[in-house]
Chains A and B, each alone.
Chain A
Amino acid sequence: MSEALSGLLFDRWPYLLTVVLLLIGLYGMLMKRNLVKKLIGMNIFQGAIILFFIVHAYKHGASVPVHSAVLGDAPEAYMNPIPHGLMLTAIVVSVATTGVALALLTVIYRRFGSIDEGELLRRLRDRE
């Protein structure tokens, strides 16, 4: 096994996981015909991006980002809190989007009695 590949598999496997999750999310969003599954795909995709930010912010052996005399001034001793803060915001955004999407889905289901994209697109095309 080459150096680069083993490095990827053993040291950076969370990034591989991110890529796998991104692909699963993309598959759900673009290929699934059930609108709820599309929404789930969207959430997986957003989750993967959140994971990406958190993984790259991780530092082995670092402490919470509160300055202490014991750990000193070295930046390596502390976690970078910004990606976590950003992702808290991104989670809020993701929840809000999911809320709007679910509200739309309930309206769609009430009006058409279906959440199958193929069926809905057929109904969209015929003139009433």
Chain B
Amino acid sequence: MTVPAGSETLAHHGEHMASAFDATAQSQLPMLVLIPLLVGLALVPALGLLRRRLAYPTTLISLLAFLYYSLRTLFAVMAHGELEYSLAAWKPPIGIELSVDMLSAFMVSVIAVIAVLVAIYASVAVRREDPEKEVPYFATMLVMLLGLTGMVLTGDLFNLYVFFEVSALGGYALMAIGHKKAPVAAFRYLIMGTLGASLYLMGVGYLYVVTGSLNMDDVAAIIMHQSSNPAVQVSLILMVIGLGLKMALFPMHLWLPDAYTYASSTSTAIIAPIMTKVSAYVLIRMLFFVYDTETFLRGTPVGAVIMWLAMGGVIVGSIMAIAQKDAKRMLAYSSVAQVAYIGVGIGLGTPLALVGAMLHILNHAIMKSCLFLVTGSVALQTGATQIKDYAGLGRKMPWTFLGFTLAALGMVGIPPTNGFFSKWYLVLGGIREGEWVLVVLILASSLLTAVYFFRVIERIYAKVPEQATNDASLPKTAEAPLRMALPVLILGAGVLVLGLFNAWLVSAVIARALPAGMHVPGL
């Protein structure tokens, strides 16, 4: 009645495995990246139970160790190429392997940097927003980071699904901490997120029926010549829809604005920059490393559909952002638009566009994290959540709004900032492909972004507040405390630094993260 899964394909393994796996170096580093998070996850609730104040230092130590090993992994990959680690010494393709190429190392470093900065900020912010939630907050944050890191490191399709759900569970819990209305938004996100992950799992099921394997390299080698197999095509469509839901690709973005608006600002500042980006990473991993790019992305309408949906998301997200009165909701719609830029790069699928997409993963993570942290600082220091209440705050909170302004300039894409360069590569990719409509739309969306950010910046610096608030519960000094202002400033400086060192970043990291056989012309 059914086809014995995998019996005929097992014979293939011997031949191509030898060639595929000899070139990569064995290393303990991929596991060492995960261990600090696992240990932290065990220690934070335990020590937090003893004394609530211990939760933050434990989290910070484990995140610093996580950052250290992430950067070491990045440098090791830059020096030696791909690293791999076979869990429990079961050799792939039978066992699960962690496989870290340049793209994974890059992503894990992005996650680690954002995580450390947001954790430092959260040490003050969570205590003031909701002191009782301190221990659960840091514990669920670690759950989510563990899941995201696992997704990025793993070389196994089903393992990726499990990490997908681990990160999602942490994400739902984090999003439910916050505003009174947050659990409703988190529940709707849970339904949509689970639907997305389930569709991905269904896609994995189809691939498993065809190949009998779950190892990404192995599956890639087997389905290379099976482009006409309908099961492979169906699996691709299921995965694109599932991952599109997770990364809030237009028109599947409807869960996102509520979820980001009502979650506490510290939760949003960690979820918004990396959660949707890691889903975008998985989409890149599938489309360019597992499925044969030539036949599946260019030979079918999949690439074009992703690109035009994403383009729709850029425009709709930008216009909706202009219409918003609430600062966080404006940033949430802006996230829909910015994630869609990554979708445009993926859909276009040329080396230049893909460089733009990968660069935008980092750039948008830095900028959006900074912006959401600022909305959190403002809400805690002055109680303002609406854009109209931001009037005159530039003088009261000079350092915080210096970071905000830098990040906002980056979002618009003013030249020395990092946001300019990711759009630059996307536009170059569009020109090279002759997609002129795309080029015009990207430039138009920059103008729309300028409209909604300059509106805020004007209010911050040029307007005077309508009336002085006399709320006794608010702190006397308006500027945020050091541990909240510093991460904002570091991220704001990052916008400039990444822009200035963009050429090095692209040639040393991003160009080498491209799939084999893709080269950026001129590098």
* Closest residue of B by beta carbon distance from A74: B7
Question: In the complex, which of the residues B2, B173, B191 contacts A55, with contact meaning CB atoms closer than 8 Å?
Answer: B2
Q: Is the CB of B1 within 8 A of A60?
A: yes
Q: 0/1 per residue, B193-225, Cβ < 8 Å to A?
A: 011001001100100110000100000000000
State whether the Cβ of A16 lies closer than 8 Å to any Cβ in chain B. Answer: no
Min C-beta distance of A43 to chain B, whole Å: 9
Are B173 and A58 in contact, CB atoms less than 8 angstroms apart? Answer: no
Contact B162 A93 (CB under 8 A): yes
Known: A46-B198, A55-B2, A60-B1. A112 touches B209 (CB 8 A): no
Determine whether the beta carbon of B205 is less than 8 Å from that of A104: no
Question: In the complex, which of the residues A57, A59, A97, A124 contacts B184, with contact meaning CB atoms closer than 8 Å?
Answer: A124
C-alpha gap A90/B180 in the complex (Å)? 32
Rounded to whole Å, the gap between the CB of A87 and the closest CB of chain B is 10
SS class, residues of chain A in contact with chain B: helix
B190 touches A53 (CB 8 A): no
Known A-B contacts A45-B198, A58-B2; A83 and B187 likewise in contact (beta carbons under 8 Å): no
The docked-state distance in angstroms from the alpha carbon of A49 to that of B205 is 8
- The CA-CA distance from A108 to B4 in the complex, in Å, is 46
A24 at the interface (CB under 8 A from B): no
- The verdict on A104 contacting B186 (CB below 8 Å), with A46-B194, A56-B209 known, is yes
The answer to whether A45 touches B5, judged by C-beta atoms less than 8 angstroms apart, is no
CA–CA, A56 and B209, complex, Å: 7
Minimum CB–CB distance from A49 to chain B (whole Å) comes to: 5
B250 proximal to A (CB < 8 A): no
Instruction: Tell me if A100 and B184 are in contact (CB < 8 A).
Output: no
* A120–B185 CA distance with the chains assembled, in angstroms: 10
- Contact check, A124 vs B258: say whether CB atoms are below 8 A apart: yes
CB of B172 closer than 8 Å to a CB of A: yes
Which residues of B are found within 8 Å of A59, using beta-carbon distances? 2, 4
From 84 to 102 in chain A, residues with beta carbon under 8 angstroms from any chain B beta carbon are: 86, 89-90, 93, 96-97, 100-101
Binary interface profile of B, 1-39, with partner A (CB < 8 Å = 1, else 0)? 111111100100000000000000000000000000000
**Cβ contacts under 8 Å, B165 to chain A:** 93, 96-97
Bound complex: CA of A93 vs CA of B197, how far in Å?
A: 11
Q: When each residue 227-257 of chain B gets 1 if its CB lies under 8 Å from chain A and 0 otherwise, what string results?
A: 0000000000000000000000000000000
Q: Which residues of chain B in 154-198 are interfacial with respect to chain A, using CB atoms and an 8 Å cutoff?
A: 158, 161-162, 165, 168-169, 172-173, 176, 180-181, 183-188, 190-191, 194-195, 198
Contacting A53 at CB < 8 Å: which of B6, B180, B205, B258? B205
**Secondary structure dominating the interface of B:** helix
Given known contacts A45-B195, A49-B201, A80 and B5 CB-to-CB distance under 8 angstroms: yes
- A contact residues around B176 at 8 Å (CB): 104, 107
Residues on B with C-beta less than 8 A from A45 are 194-195, 198
Chain B interface residue count: which class? Answer: 35 or more
CB distance from A23 to the nearest CB of B (A): 13
A108 x B1 contact (CB < 8 A): no
Question: Are A58 and B1 touching (Cβ within 8 A)?
Answer: yes
Chain B neighbourhood of A123, CB < 8 A = 181, 184
Contact B181 A124, beta carbon cutoff 8 Å: yes
Q: Which residues of A contact B214 (CB under 8 A)?
A: 82
Q: Which residues of A contact B195 (CB under 8 A)?
A: 26, 29, 42, 45
Which of A29, A49, A75, A120 is within 8 Å of B7, CB to CB? A75
Q: Are B187 and A104 in contact (CB under 8 A)?
A: yes
B7 in contact with A76 (CB, 8 Å): yes
The docked-state distance in angstroms from the alpha carbon of A56 to that of B43 is 41
Report yes or no: B191 in contact with A42, Cβ–Cβ below 8 A: yes
CB of A57 within 8 A of CB of B5, answer yes
Which of B162, B169, B180, B202 is A111 in contact with, Cβ under 8 Å? B180
- Chain A neighbourhood of B198, CB < 8 A: 45-46, 49
Cβ of A67 under 8 Å from chain B = no
Q: Which of B2, B185, B190, B201 contacts A56 (CB 8 A)?
A: B2
- CB-based nearest B residue for A117: B188
B14 to chain A, nearest CB (A): 15
Q: 8 Å CB contacts to B: which residues of A111-128? A: 111-112, 117, 120-121, 123-124
> CA–CA, A120 to B188, complex, Å?
11
Residues on A with C-beta less than 8 A from B186 are 104
Set of chain A residues within 8 Å of B183, measured between Cβ atoms: 104, 107-108, 111
Instruction: Indicate if the CB atoms of A12 and B4 lie closer than 8 Å.
Output: no
Closest 6 CB pairs of A and B: A93-B165, A107-B183, A104-B187, A75-B7, A104-B183, A108-B183
Using CB atoms and an 8 Å cutoff, list the residues of chain A in contact with chain B. 11-12, 26, 29, 35, 38-39, 42, 45-46, 49, 52-53, 55-60, 75-76, 80, 82-83, 86, 89-90, 93, 96-97, 100-101, 104-105, 107-108, 111-112, 117, 120-121, 123-124
Subset of 27 A-B contacts with CB under 8 Å = A26-B195, A46-B194, A46-B198, A49-B198, A53-B208, A56-B5, A57-B5, A59-B4, A75-B4, A75-B7, A76-B7, A83-B5, A89-B162, A96-B169, A97-B168, A97-B169, A100-B169, A100-B190, A101-B187, A101-B190, A104-B176, A104-B187, A104-B190, A112-B184, A121-B184, A124-B181, A124-B184
